Structure 1
């Protein structure tokens, strides 16, 4: 069974991806101009963004309240494939936004025979839109979207967690990972979209912490990372 290619899921995803592209075009153009400016480097831009988030990530994230900040269709399909391959039954998503990535993950859970996806999202309007999108896709029964700061909303999770997607404030990737870490199942998959935080990368690359990690050759330039819990 591949619910991803059936209605209403496929039609809804096509619409949401079009809306996301339109909504985020100006933001993406502005970001690319910063990355490509001759007087700076991508590393400098990311360092500035991380510094801003560490100072006040709630305020920074609120600035993107109207933006989808969504995964690409290719990355979404990859998440679906990996969730199926892992035979995941419990998934945690940090940064639900409008629910596009959530649909890919929840569809895979449906095709795995069921399960639970726990998501966290700070922006109330995004939570409402994500819930509406999941309802339209017929997947709402599989998903619990928790409104608020992930460092609070994701404290109470029953284990084991088979797959973790980090796709929110960059500066919180490591704190959220450490929060979920005690509940990660052996062999759990961890995906970091735009995983540019050097502290997060260093933590995954330290064998003492129990992970194997590498950068994914998907959506080049977005720093998508993949790790497996092996320790």
Structure 2
């Protein structure tokens, strides 16, 4: 059975075709990523996670570092289940996760996925991929430093994906947090892969005083699933 003939929650052959191509391209990079991380893997096996070097981000300029297929379909279903109209994404990369989320927004009757990406070449290609999927109407990719591009957010946010630079995750979340509605959801990628780097971020979500209930799902390198249960004044 081909990947395209496998039942999909998205149920849209045009979108599934684009995603199949993008996931295949991401899969081709996997061997190179393993070699890059090879010296750091002992820490992962010891439960400490991979140490993140924020001074060498140029390695990732042409890398997908994307969510996996199961994560994408889960995000689509979650966004549908809460009727998400406004979604914010930290770390658009080449647009794989954006496509899953924009499909949900479209199927919910309309809205916007606000993406963030600092690498210019990725912004260009992500927009092309999203247009190929026929979803450009539902996406606003903000190019540049997310700490700056998200400052102008002023609408209620239903769902957030945190999948960008780990050392910025908490600062980005604190910008978005006041706008997330009760019942809104945060999905965070790689919380076990980069355990130390995301420690303060996960602790923020795990602290009930900040208004969230959260659980780590066994998807990819640890996917944190967090629900905002109350507003903090």
Question: TM-score normalised to the size of structure 1?
Answer: 0.89
| Structure 1 residue 25, shift from structure 2 partner | 2.5
Aligned position for 1:212: 213
Equivalences for 1:38-117 in 2 at 5 Å? 41-43=46-48, 45-46=49-50, 48-49=51-52, 52-53=53-54, 56=55, 60-117=56-113
Structure 2 residue 8 is the aligned partner of structure 1 residue 9: no
Quick check: 2:159–2:185 contact (8 Å CA) kept in 1? yes
Segment of structure 1 superposing worse, 189-198 or 90-99: 189-198
1:164 pairs with one of 156, 160, 164: 160
Inter-partner Cα distance in structure 2 for 1:134 and 1:91: 15
- Deviation digits for residues 95-144 of structure 1, max 9, x if unmatched? 00000000000001111111111000010000001000000000001000
* RMSD across aligned positions (CA): 1.9
Quick check: 1:215–1:224 contact (8 Å CA) kept in 2? yes
Quick check: 1:191–1:225 contact (8 Å CA) kept in 2? yes
Quick check: 1:88–1:163 contact (8 Å CA) kept in 2? yes
| Structure 1 residue 8, shift from structure 2 partner | 1.2
Inter-partner Cα distance in structure 1 for 2:185 and 2:38: 30
| Structure 1 residue 32, shift from structure 2 partner | 5.2
Equivalences for 1:141-156 in 2 at 5 Å? 141-156=137-152
In proportion to residue count, which structure has more helix?
1
| Structure 1 residue 178, shift from structure 2 partner | 0.4
Quick check: 1:159–1:185 contact (8 Å CA) kept in 2? no
Question: TM-score normalised to the size of structure 2?
Answer: 0.88
Inter-partner Cα distance in structure 2 for 1:88 and 1:134: 19
- Deviation digits for residues 163-200 of structure 1, max 9, x if unmatched? 00000101111111101011111111001101231101
- Give 5+ residue unaligned stretches, structure 1: none
- Deviation digits for residues 192-219 of structure 1, max 9, x if unmatched? 1012311011111111111101101222
